[in-house]
Amino acid sequence: MAIASRVPKRVLSAFAATATEAGKLPEAAVAAVAAAEVPLPTSAAAERNKPLEFDDTGRLFGGERTSALVRTLAALQALSAGPLVDVGIAALRSPAVAGSALGKAAARATAYKHFCAGETADEAAGVVRRLWRGGMGGILDYGIEDAEDGDACDRNAAGFIAAVDVAAALPPGSASVCIKITALCPIALLEKASDLLRWQHKHPSFFLPWKAHSFPILSDSSPLYLTASEPPALTPEEERELEAAHERLLAVGARCAEHGIPLLVDAEYATVQPAIDYFTFVGALAFNGGEASANGGERPIVHGTIQAYLRDARDRLEAMVRAAERERVRLGLKVVRGAYIARETRLAASLGVPSPVHGCIQDTHDCYNGCAAFLLDRVRRGNASVMLATHNVESGQLAAARAQELGIPKGDPNLQFAQLMGMADGLSLSLRNAGFQVSKYLPYGPVDQIIPYLIRRAEENRGLLSASSFDRQLLRKELVRRVKAAVAGRE
């Protein structure tokens, strides 16, 4: 059964070079990026060439209410305190606390209010409309975690389709929809399918009767050690469950295609990512093909995700792009740093093998910037659509500068930037002011349903939250400016 900153010119040159090294071995290409470390811009020349501006906070935060800035500053200040975050995570993990009316009320008034767009799709749509009036878009994310059975998957698929319908009623171009394959297919089945896909990569003659044509999913540098021996085949019932999951994805994709709504598929952890990529790229072949897409026309529908903190990210990216170009299918990709470092590290340690994650944060930064450069060149050629999801100011600066150098038109829908709701607003607004397409990631759902998301987001971004001094500095500067202006106006 088939499953149908102102950046020095030498840095920009090194960044650009990574986009033209497709002929190199992937490892060499990544090494070339790593060799050109990106310093924080300090020279006068760098100051003159900065593509994004943060100095004029009056312009940066123009249109933002003072009360909203105060709330954001207070939230970021609280979340920068590691012990306070630890206490909050412990409280959310406790059924006695998280399940109580008081616990839910406390979560709703704090982390939920800062990071989430509401309890319903209609409430999230209101946030999208507000963002759109301010020159940005929104990514609707129905906040559900892993599904355990088919009934849960059916409910989740209905929720995703409802999100697409809400997005379709919003101003054209203002919204996209984000989904999780782990919400459409039982997690145990995704793990089993991923084992089989890893084994087939190691043994190409290994036959998978349910596998349809797709893009490359794995590379030789992928964590193939997760499947140490030949896994059992799927049972007929499991094949039927996999087919049902595929049909759910096609139903969501078809609704997106009907309304022209981009569909962003989140990445997950290594034990299930091969099956997620398989589903994603089968969906891309179904909805991203056609002459308009191949020749740089309208934006593709289905977008996969590359996690730059993984050692195999660049290898897999280049293989995907080559395959998509051969198929004349415009590849849609979201590039992120990654969200499961603690989980991946623990699993690798338990198996006594190297972690699939880069050994240091600078390697992750270099890989992210290299992948972004590579894809920006494909956007220029009309072969790809990319969403650069980053909270890193330097990566934003580099990508914006490279896009300008390549002549990618401002407002091109095939180049998007994204940040989480409640985080990196300074970067979002600066990118918007520079003329780029920017969206905020908007999780929504009932408080008790969103609590697992909030726990994961707090754990993933612990370091980022504690290092949010740049955003807090911008907010303080603007609030002081507004106070001074108000005082001066009374004199």
Per-residue pLDDT, 83: 74
Whole-number pLDDT of residue 290: 55
For residue 327, pLDDT beyond 50: yes
- DSSP 8-state class, residue 442: E
| Percent of the residues in the chain that have a pLDDT greater than 90, as a whole number | 66
Query: Residue 27 above 70 pLDDT?
Result: no
Per-residue pLDDT, averaged over 5-28, amounts to 38
pLDDT tier at 25, thresholds 50, 70, 90: very low
- Comparing CA positions, the residue from 177, 335, 333 lying closest to residue 261 is 177
Alpha-carbon distances, residue 340 vs 133, 273, 452, 461 (angstroms): 34, 12, 14, 10
Find the mean pLDDT for residues 9-25.
Answer: 38
* 64 Cβ contact partners less than 8 Å away, ≥ 6 residues apart: 134, 429
Residue 49: the pLDDT is: 57
The pLDDT value given to residue 457: 65
Which of these ranges, 18-22, 111-115, 153-157, 445-449, has the smallest mean pLDDT?
A: 18-22
Q: pLDDT higher for 464 or 159? A: 159
Query: How far from the centroid of its chain's Cα atoms is residue 267's Cα?
Result: 8
Q: Where are the domains of the chain?
A: 59-116+450-472, 119-444
pLDDT at 249 over 60: yes
pLDDT bucket at 299, cuts 50 / 70 / 90: confident
Angle 9-18/361-381 helices, nearest 10 degrees?
70
> Is residue 127 over pLDDT 50?
yes
Residue 464 banded pLDDT, cuts 50, 70, 90:
low
* Residue 143 binned pLDDT confidence (cut-offs 50, 70, 90): confident
Strand partners, 265: 179
412 contact partners, CB below 8 Å, separation of at least 6: 379, 437
Q: Residues 56, 57, 60, CA angle at the centre, nearest 5°? A: 95
Q: Which of 33-42, 149-158, 367-376 has the lowest mean pLDDT?
A: 33-42
Please state the rounded mean pLDDT for residues 405-432.
94
- The domain 119-444 having CATH identifier 3.40.50.300: the answer here is no
The mean predicted confidence, pLDDT, of the chain is: 85
What is the per-residue DSSP string for 63-92? T--HHHHHHHHHHHHHHT-HHHHHHHHHHH
The pLDDT score that the predictor gives to residue 105 is: 80
Name the residue with tokens 């009934």.
Answer: 151
Instruction: Name which residue leads in pLDDT, 3 or 206.
Output: 206
Q: Determine the average pLDDT of the residues in 29-52.
A: 43
Q: Span 348-357, mean pLDDT?
A: 92
pLDDT at 81: 72
Candidate from 39-53, 150-164, 374-388 with smallest mean pLDDT? 39-53
Assess whether pLDDT exceeds 70 at residue 411. Answer: yes
Segment 55-70 mean pLDDT? 92
Q: What was the pLDDT predicted at 450? A: 82
The reported pLDDT for the residue numbered 28 is 33
pLDDT of residue 106: 76
Q: In the predicted model, is pLDDT for residue 20 greater than 70? A: no
Task: Give the rounded percent of residues in the chain with a pLDDT score beyond 70.
Answer: 84
pTM: 0.86
Q: Out of 25-29, 55-59, 223-227, 452-456, which region has the weakest mean confidence (pLDDT)?
A: 25-29
How large is the average pLDDT for residues 173-177? 97
Residue 454: pLDDT band (50, 70, 90) is: confident
pLDDT at 198 over 80: yes
Average pLDDT rounded to a whole number, residues 223-251 = 96
